[in-house]
Structure 1
């Protein structure tokens, strides 16, 4: 039996909820995304992506970010790739187009990434670094996949906003589909990281923090997310 808090349970839940998630994203049901975080990640990526660069969306889901980048920056001539561990999400991404999408899980990045992906100028992960050991494995693989001057852009839940009433310490939390609409089954658990936890994870993965952003929600004035920009610490 799969443990209630584990990377395996994260993947199983996303496999089970791929269709309602695709509908929620494409129908614009998630208010924080439509108001703040979608545009925040697109603009951050474009500010760091070189013209004619090769970009990977790590944990691409149904592919919206690649489509948004292709649509908003057609003059950039970006080469866009996306990988996700959930085959049905990759199928949805391929059907919508906008990039080259592959089924590849986080632990396969180190062993199969160099053969299946070109050298990368930028890797972006948008609310897709949910687990524990699998996330560490994925980030540790990135320095070898990036060109020497490449960058990593991560958007995640803001630790202070996401902590809630629980202690401010790294650890597994129960998941929820609140605010995503109907049709969802059991929610995936997620691994909460403090700010120091994120910084330690980057350091241990051979990445050096360059910049942070804290996009603000227009109604509350509080951070809607945390964006981290890093590069290989050669």
Structure 2
């Protein structure tokens, strides 16, 4: 999708907010139900943070899951409808886009920043990753879960580029396809390095039925 405006990502999520909330709360996404939700919770708990910022929190499930473990968690998302749904379920949430975090409009420092399937753009993600260290305490961690490139590549060539999510197999009626930027595993690792992060750990949670990677989790420090 040459020339794809990254604002199209947000436009699609404004339209898909209700469908996404339903899909998450009714556990309609098999990979989340079987492995990836617990995988990101485990990755956060393993680092024992007292405070967490969930960037791109969606309908807020992860904030509530971490709060149940005694963690002070706050979620931010650029889509007001998702924040409204998140507040319905309880927890601390506010509307904030990547640009708000990059510009320093979120002043609270935390011990961990989590991006759970929320790094969807190209240049916007590059700018965000470069800015996130300012939100972390001195020994804080960044924890990112995203689609596993080898699996998400599908029939496409294994090269960076824009893709379109048609929501096949998500179990809910999504009104708008969603653009997202595909990165190879090498590109992800390179992006962390050029953004000033030291990669501490890479996890590949396996689907319990297929034995194939359901996602990839990066844990990095400043």
* TM tier, smaller: over 0.9
Q: Deviations over 1:88-118 (max 9, x none)?
A: 10111112112x21111012212134xx341
1:85 match:
78
SS class of match (2:40): helix
Kept in 1: contact 2:113–2:143 (CA 8 A): yes
Kept in 2: contact 1:175–1:188 (CA 8 A): yes
Kept in 1: contact 2:29–2:170 (CA 8 A): yes
1:219 match:
209
> What's the RMSD between the two structures over aligned residues?
1.3
Q: Distance in 2 between matches of 1:10 and 1:49?
A: 33
1:14 match:
13
1:203 match:
193
- Structure 2 stretches lacking a partner, 5+ long: none
Matched pairs, number:
221
1:5 match:
4
Q: Distance in 2 between matches of 1:139 and 1:199?
A: 12
- Structure 1 stretches lacking a partner, 5+ long: none
Runs of 4+ aligned residues of structure 1 deviating over 6 Å after TM superposition are: none
Q: Distance in 2 between matches of 1:6 and 1:131?
A: 10
Equivalent residue for 1:105, pick from 97, 110, 127? 97
**TM-score in terms of structure 2 length:** 0.96
SS class of match (2:176): coil
2:182 match:
192
